Amino acid sequence: MTRQDGREVTAEATRLQRRPPPPIPILVLTGFLGAGKTTLLNGWIQSGAFADAAVIINEFGEIGIDHLLVEKAEGTMLTLSSGCLCCSVRGDLMATLEDLIRRRDNGHVTPFNRLVIETTGLADPAPILNTLMLHPYLPMRYRIDAVVTVVDALHGAATLDAHAEARSQAAVADTFVLTKTDLVPESEAAAILLARLRDLNPVARLLDAARGEATAESVLQAGLYALDEGPGRPRRWLDPDVYRAPHDHHEHDGHDHAPGAHHHHDGIASTCVTSDGPLDPIAFGRFVDLVRGTHGAKLLRVKGLVAPTDDPDHPLVIHGVQHFFHPPHRLDGWPDADHRSRLVFILRDLDPIVIERLWLAFFGPLAPDRPDAAAMMESTRDSAGGLLA
């Protein structure tokens, strides 16, 4: 090896050492009071599936820590014999997250590769997600991977009717875990609850805890970034047709289109916009900037896959909450045979047609009777800007 080769190897090693570690995926466990979050979490911890995870809970007493084997206790943190690290929140959640990652970096806690946050039953998860994503540096160390919402089948419909927080918990979920279904023998009552949940969120996966479906392994597969694991069973949220309401009558002309939206009376709606061909990264970045700049507070959640023109065979995972969007994450390949760009919007107090028209203005077929992308972009950043640029 020549001296020049040695310098190049050293430089490459230094560059790799300086590369930031990949963000730690976060699973947010939410659900209204009495839904059964703590019972589920306790079972998941004892199963051993969370051996490489840290779990943030409200109080150790609530999780039934007495039934678990504690190997090490230090202040607000406990290391369990299963390998799981439990941390109780004392005050601000962001401060807890900062302290946890600092201890991990300094080797003061068991290394963890996943984080689970159990929210309080009265919490609206949207502000929690937004606060985390707007933090100065935590988004570089953590990424929101999945929201799992626990729903009490016995009282779920009444809870959804009475509490806006419960409706928000349902709207942003990637997975519903239904509890106490064995206590609801009336099929009509169960059907009413399922219809209510589907109205709020047409694509979340449904797991029945009473039937043994809500295992730790199944919940960990709920993540948005689990798409990186390659092809698997079809993911419901990636199917644009799921968002078409029965009364929807959009015309299909073979071009890019917004395939419809679910509307309801809670102020929450969802829609999925698609594009048959790859998207220009700068144009897509401008679209995102315009949407979050004008309607950011009304974006409960945005997630999807985008095929960029520079590398359409390796799609980008897009994930945003309100004004903040994570840096796009490139997959090794498409998770299924559908290679269209697809973007899902969960909205509060915003008619989905607003998003659909903006999408068509940027990426739809030319039409002289509606604004074009150039007109929509006049007030946005210069051509060097954009989410994907």
Q: Which residues, in sequence order, are CB contacts of 93 under 8 Å at separation 6+?
A: 56, 117, 128, 131, 132
Report the residue count for the chain: 389
d(CA 115, CA 182): 30
pLDDT band (50, 70, 90) for residue 185: confident
For residue 382, is it within any domain? no
In a domain, 123, yes or no: yes
Same domain assignment for residues 246 and 164? no
Are 241 and 276 members of one domain?
A: yes
Q: What is the pTM of this model?
A: 0.72
Residues 160-182, mean pLDDT to the nearest whole number: 91
Q: Is residue 230 in a domain?
A: no
Residues 6+ apart with CB under 8 A from 137: none
pLDDT surpasses 80 at 221: no
pLDDT band at 337 (very low <50, low <70, confident <90, very high): confident
Higher pLDDT, 122 or 12: 122
Task: Name the token pair of 280.
Answer: 């220009």
Q: What angle do CA 248, 254, 258 make, to 5 degrees?
A: 40
- Do the strands 24-31 and 142-152 form a parallel or antiparallel pair, or are they unpaired? parallel
> Which long-range contacts (C-beta less than 8 Å, at least 24 apart) are formed by 81-85?
82/45, 82/46, 82/48, 82/50, 82/51, 83/48, 83/50, 83/51, 83/52, 83/110, 84/45, 84/50, 84/51, 84/53, 84/54, 84/55, 85/53, 85/54, 85/55, 85/109, 85/110, 85/112
Residue 215 belongs to what domain range? 19-222
| 115 vs 99: CA distance, rounded Å | 13
Question: What's the whole-number mean pLDDT along residues 351-357?
Answer: 93
Q: For residues 359 and 171, what is the distance between their CA atoms, to the nearest angstrom?
A: 22
Number of domains in the chain: 2
Shared domain check, 323 and 208: no
Calculate the CA dihedral of residues 224, 231, 386, 302 and round it to 10 degrees: -30
Of 179 and 57, the one with more pLDDT:
179
Do 164 and 294 reside in the same domain of the chain?
A: no
Q: 274 and 210: one domain? A: no
- Tell me if 385 is assigned to some domain: no
pLDDT band at 259 (very low <50, low <70, confident <90, very high): very low
Please indicate, yes or no, whether residues 212 and 287 belong to a single structural domain of this protein. no
Of 172, 190, 222, which one is at a domain's C-terminal end? Answer: 222
The SS3 of residue 143 is: strand
Please indicate, yes or no, if residue 389 is contained in any of the structural domains: no
> Domain boundary residue among 197, 222, 247?
222
- Does 2 fall in a domain? no
Tell me if 110 is assigned to some domain: yes
**Spatial strand order in the sheet of 85-88:** 70-74, 77-80, 85-88, 53-57, 114-118, 24-31, 142-152, 175-179, 205-208
Residue 189 is part of a domain; what is its CATH number?
3.40.50.300
Question: Taking 50 as the threshold, does the pLDDT of residue 345 lie above it?
Answer: yes
In order of 15, 19, 370, the CA distances from 7 in angstroms are 12, 18, 58
Average pLDDT score over residue span 108-132: 80
Do residue 270 and residue 123 come from a single domain?
A: no
Indicate if 243 and 331 belong to the same structural domain: yes
- 76-90, 144-158, 233-247: which is most confident: 144-158
Residue 256 · residue 276 · CB < 8 Å: yes
Mean pLDDT value across residues 36-54:
82
Of 322, 181, 173, 160, give the one whose Cα is nearest residue 236: 173
- The mean pLDDT value for 60-71 works out to 46
Please check whether residue 387 lies inside any domain of the structure. no
Closest by Cα among 252, 280, 222, 259 to 343:
259
The token duo for 227 is 């798409």
Question: Concatenated DSSP letters for 270-324?
Answer: EEEEEESS-B-HHHHHHHHHHHHHHHGGGEEEEEEEE-BTT-TTS-EEEEEETTE
Give yes or no: residues 349 and 250 share one domain.
yes
Max Cα distance, the chain (Å): 79
Does the pLDDT at position 310 exceed 90?
A: yes
- Same structural domain for residues 250 and 141? no
Examine the fold and report which residue of 222, 249, 264 is the final residue of a domain before the chain moves on.
222
Whether residue 203 sits in one domain with residue 63: yes
Question: Above 90 in pLDDT, residue 353?
Answer: yes
Distance separating alpha carbons of residues 149 and 19, to the nearest angstrom: 34
In a shared domain, residues 37 and 180: yes
